[in-house]
Structure 1
Amino acid sequence: ETVYLFGGWDGTQDLADFWAYSVKENQWTCISRDTEKESGPSARSCHKMCIDIQRRQIYTLGRYLDSSVRNSKSLKSDFYRYDIDTNTWMLLSEDTAADGGPKLVFDHQMCMDSEKHMIYTFGGRILTCNGSVDDSRASEPQFSGLFAFDCQCQTWKLLREDSCNAGPEDIQSRIGHCMLFHSKNRCLYVFGGQRSKTYLNDFFSYDVDSDHVDIISDGTKKDSGMVPMTGFTQRATIDPELNEIHVLSGLSKDKEKREENVRNSFWIYDIVRNSWSCVYKNDQAAKENPGKSLQEEEPCPRFAHQLVYDELHKVHYLFGGNPGKSCSPKMRLDDFWSLKLCRPSKEYLLRHCKYLIRKHRFEEKAQTDPLSALKYLQNDLYVTVDHSDPEETKEVVINSLCLIK
């Protein structure tokens, strides 16, 4: 029941602080002000972390470097592991590329398979030295492929190179995408993201045991209203028990798109039924509650934030990000939110359906036979009312008053 936060960009500089939030105590604790001083990673942003819950260890890989400080030494991809119980960092690799792993990347994705003690990393943009003449593709963006890291043997394996070919087992690398690991069916799920100036809308799974790619959607179908929109920052989590993927869609990184359609939306993908459903949009909430500001109800739309999920208690946690204010380009957020999806029970749905049917029947009777309608209200409709719900109670009172009139 702990959320860990490391590093990031505060609008001015990279950070190297390391924090833990206790859900039980509702309190933040600073583990380290500067992890580099404790044999840990240097200050960084656009890195990724994953946690091995079984062994209580955290891994971090990747970072962004400004072009002005890139050289052959700084472009090495270091790889660290943090042990929660001993509060110690360990440098696993000074340069993962030299060990057969990915080159230095940012905006990639990383997932942990605790059962097999494996880490999977996919995509991200490879950082290169400017003015490089030995690589004809140096001016073009380069993207990292799909790699697996065996935590036990500490060895890397390239599973898929970045490919633009449309073969059945080929996958296109990207940045800003979502990748999740389903611990029960042992598949990685990848969707969304961006490649150069193209926003990708495909959705595929990768079976880590059989090395097989399954294209769930190639992104060409004209059903854009039924799937999360491309071009907007998406953060996703997975619940293997419920067989669901949750997606929070926020602000676009693209300045031109930022002002249009600014809103949060929350989507659920049912893995078994292969179907998306939008369960929330904040423009609807604004219409229903015009008196309340968005900031009181939910986090404002943003990008560069983080979203994690507590599978046990079914709670999401969101921290920070960039609100995309053109008047304050250096502004970064440090707000912290929790989100719990409240689903109606079968009992509630059955009762509520009975209530709606009987309410409609009552209204029909009231038009032709008020006395019969009154008896129906007292004997049939009344027993289906949830008296703890002020809306339903109010409706019954109004209906009875209409009969008296």
Structure 2
Amino acid sequence: MQDHSLEQKKEDGEKEYLEKKRMYDQVKEEPGGGLFNTFIGEQEYRPVWRPIQPCKTDVQPGMRGGHQMCMDPYTETIYLFGGWDGNQDLSDLWTYHVPTHKWTLIMRDTEVEGGPSARSCHKVCIDPDRRQIFTLGRYLDMLCRTPGNLKSDFYMYDIDSNSWTLISEDTGEMGGPQLIFDHQMSMDVEQRKIYVFGGRVLTPHTAITFEERSGTCGMALVGSSNSDPTFSGLYCYHVSTNTWTKLCDDCSRPSSPGFPTIRSRVGHSMLFHPGCRKLFIFAGQRSKEYLNDFFTYNVDTQEIQQISEGTKKEPCNIPAAGFTQRATIDPELNEIYVLSGLSKDKEKRDDNVQNSFWVYYIAQNKWSCIYRNENTGEHYWSKMQHLEPCPRFAHQLVYDPCNKVHYLFGGNPGRSCLPRLRLDDFWQLQLCRPSHEQILQKCKLFIRKHRFEELAVKDRMAALQYLQTSLSEIIDHEDSEQTKEFQLLASVLFQEQDEKETHLGAGHSIDESGCHHRRSQLFDQLIEFFPSFMSQPKANLIDLISL
């Protein structure tokens, strides 16, 4: 009776082995290892930063903050325009070609070439289909403001002809926004519409405090605000018809009763999702109030939907208010990415020298913090300067949706002892998940470790040879954790030999019951990587019966 039971268990073990081999062969043969897609999609991203170091002989943009960048994903080209170097506004236009790792100075002074004057705290957006770049807004020092230069000029740069076109000398006169800075601008490429939201309106008599100015573009300005700031509303520019439409007023200054209003702000993020045709608007600052709300604006129906009001009653697992954030969107993956950096509050800045990176999963309505740096000392950042970017504000972050890569350049590190210091470092960020090959390698490792442990019970010399060959060849010996685990496996040769004497029965070369149990554990380990329809139900079978 006992022999029959052991034979049955052995037969069951062989069936499990054949099932594992069948799944392994299916994964091996299927292009892209599609069986692992569900598991991979459920894993958290791991951010990997890499500094991009130009050749010493190459020219490159200098230190700056308050500049603007956009990316043409089709040609893998980044465009950088303007900024503030700590002493003056800049008017240079650069490109960075990712495949050749090369910066090119397109124009040293865009104003001389018929383009916009030197500026910072402006915004740009790109139409990659028609190869056009649009720029709107700028900051002007209080001493430089005159009625003549407070006009909101609006330019378009044609990439193919390398030329600028002045679309409008003053968008305010055309029904668009007045001269604003620290606003947001997003483009609906398909319908050729540009959406502009928020920002502060520059007036002849309103100065900006040092903290407010530093919090936007990183420039120092002495002065104080003697009146309530004026915030700009939500506007739409139709490129094809060269017309502006006001969609919403700021809630504090409605133009007429019943006209739609929206709570305007500066330092916020706004992203356009072409699939659901919505603007996603998040966080920002309104005077001394740091906002943490999150809402969408449907560009077709004009409906506003509140995702999060940013109150203390809501879950705390969202990016904190009061920190400079840069956001990007991947419409294909339905994900929004937010890099949260230095606090805008000068008094809190020294206590908040940290970076955090968040992912918002649109379909699941869920935030996830995939990285948070808890080390805030200057010693830590000097040690990590070649491994990850230091916290900053007034920087720029762009995203290549085709290759799933972010690029960050420059900014203000917020050093109180060096208020004019700006950065010129350039970084690449990849969000990594386990690849199909890595998961397949892990499955192999589980199976071969199990095979080695079974051999160690039956034949130590054969197990040793297997350890030195079949197991060793799939170990990543540059990975310290894998190497340590591999080295510890040798002890199994002796541990299993001691146990063998107590587990062997008369006439049997191996404890069949223990073997069956271990193979079942291996099967459970492997099945975690596969879709649920390929595994046995995890719920109690009795619960599946409807009574």
TM-score w.r.t. length of structure 1: 0.87
| 1:292-324 deviation digits (Å, cap 9, x = unpaired) | 921010111100000000111111110100000
> What is the CA–CA distance in structure 2 between the aligned matches of 1:351 and 1:282, rounded to whole Å?
30
The Cα of 1:192 is off from its aligned counterpart by 0.7
Give the 3-state SS of the residue equivalent to 1:220 in structure 2.
coil
Q: Is structure 2 residue 171 aligned with structure 1 residue 171?
A: no
Paired letter, 2:344: K
Counterparts of 2:280 and 2:206 in 1: how far apart (Å)? Answer: 36
1:159 equivalent in structure 2: 247
What does residue 149 of structure 1 align with? 237
1:243 partnered with 2:318: no
Return the offset for 1:60.
0.3
Shift, 1:345, TM fit: 3.3
Q: Which residue of 1 aligns with 2:411?
A: 321
Q: Contact 2:325–2:338 (CA<8 Å) still a contact in 1?
A: yes
Distance 1:18 1:300, change over 3 A: same
Structure-2 separation of matches of 1:291 and 1:65: 33
Change (3 A) 1:292 1:7: closer
- The CA distance in 2 between the partners of 1:208 and 1:6, in whole Å, is 28
Seen in structure 2, the aligned counterparts of structure 1 residues 111 and 384 have a Cα distance that, compared at 3 Å, is: farther
Matched letter for residue 410 of structure 2: G
Residue aligning to 1:32: 107
Q: Which has the higher contact order (CA 8 A, sep 6+)?
A: 2
Residue in 1 aligned with 2:298?
Answer: 207
Per the alignment, residue 6 of structure 2 pairs with none
Per the TM alignment, residue 261 of structure 1 is displaced from its structure 2 partner at its CA by 3.0
2:400 maps to 1:310: yes
For 1:83-122, what aligned pairs fall within 5 Å after superposition?
83-122=158-197
Aligned sequence identity (%): 58
Aligned with 2:351 (options 260, 263, 267): 260
Q: Give the secondary structure class of the aligned counterpart of 1:201.
A: strand
Q: Does 1:61 align with 2:152?
A: no
Q: Deviations over 1:28-83 (max 9, x none)?
A: 11111111011100000000000001110000000001111112111110000000
For the structure 1 residues 309 and 351, does the alpha-carbon distance in structure 2 shift closer, same or farther, using more than 3 Å as the test? same
More divergent stretch after superposition (346-355 vs 321-330): 346-355
Greater C-alpha Rg: 2
> Does structure 2 conserve the Cα–Cα contact (< 8 Å) formed by 1:183 and 1:240?
yes
**Structure 2: gaps (5+ residues):** 1-75, 208-224, 496-547
1:229 to 308, 311, 320: 320
Q: Deviations over 1:192-222 (max 9, x none)?
A: 1000000000000111111111111111154
Give per-residue Cα distances to partners, 1:268-306, cap 9 Å, x unaligned: 1100000011111233799xxx89921010111100000
Post-superposition shift, 1:129? 1.1
C-alpha deviation, 1:387, in angstroms: 1.2
Change beyond 3 A, Cα 1:387–1:95: same
CA RMSD, 1 decimal:
3.2
CA pair 284-392 structure 1, distance change in 2 beyond 3 A: farther
- CA separation in 2, counterparts of 1:357 and 1:83? 58
Higher helix proportion (structure 1 or 2) = 2
Kindly state the Cα deviation for residue 225 of structure 1 after the two structures are TM-superposed. Answer: 4.0
Indicate if the aligned counterparts of 2:206 and 2:229 stay in contact, CA closer than 8 A. Answer: no
**Residue in 1 that maps onto 2:515:** none
What's the CA shift for 1:344? 1.3
State the distance in 2 between where 1:139 and 1:251 align: 27
215-224 or 83-92, which deviates more: 215-224
Match of 1:401, SS state, is helix
Q: Distance in 2 between matches of 1:384 and 1:185?
A: 50
Give the SS at the match of 2:247: strand
1:77 aligned partner, one-letter code = S
